[in-house]
Amino acid sequence: MNPEKHRLGTEVSNEQTLKNIRALASSPWSGRLVLRVPVIRGFNDDLENMAATADFMQEVGLSEINLLPFHRMGDSKYTQLGKRYAFSEVDSMPLEHLVPLQQLFMDRGIACYIGSHTPF
């Protein structure tokens, strides 16, 4: 949710992403909108960031989120392309690390799914 930190990690602003979510959430579209958030240790896995995400979701009227634990499966693809994978030194995220984050969302009435454990 922090725009500066988002830019550091992705080289782009999160402004357009948040704008798109707001637009879709306020549109007449009646589909299911579930936010999917990759959770990266030391980058966005802190309670402050997740609380800001929950605040945003409540503000725009969303009630489901899927927390995706970080893994390094993309590392080999970057290597094949002759590129350096920026997160190659970051450890994979154990699912149990996401349980307190899941509870934060659930305490706010937001359904929170971890990894592939989803109803969809």
Q: What is the pLDDT of residues 68-82, one digit of tens each?
A: 998 877 788 888 999
Instruction: Write out pLDDT tens, residues 32-47.
Output: 999 999 999 888 999 9
> What CATH code would you report for 33-114?
3.80.30.10
| CA angle in degrees (0–180, nearest 5) for 14-19-23 | 150
40, 68, 96, 115, 119 from 52: Cα distances, Å: 16, 17, 21, 20, 25
**Residue bearing the bigger pLDDT, 88 or 20:** 20
pLDDT band (50, 70, 90) for residue 54: very high
Residue 75: predicted pLDDT: 81
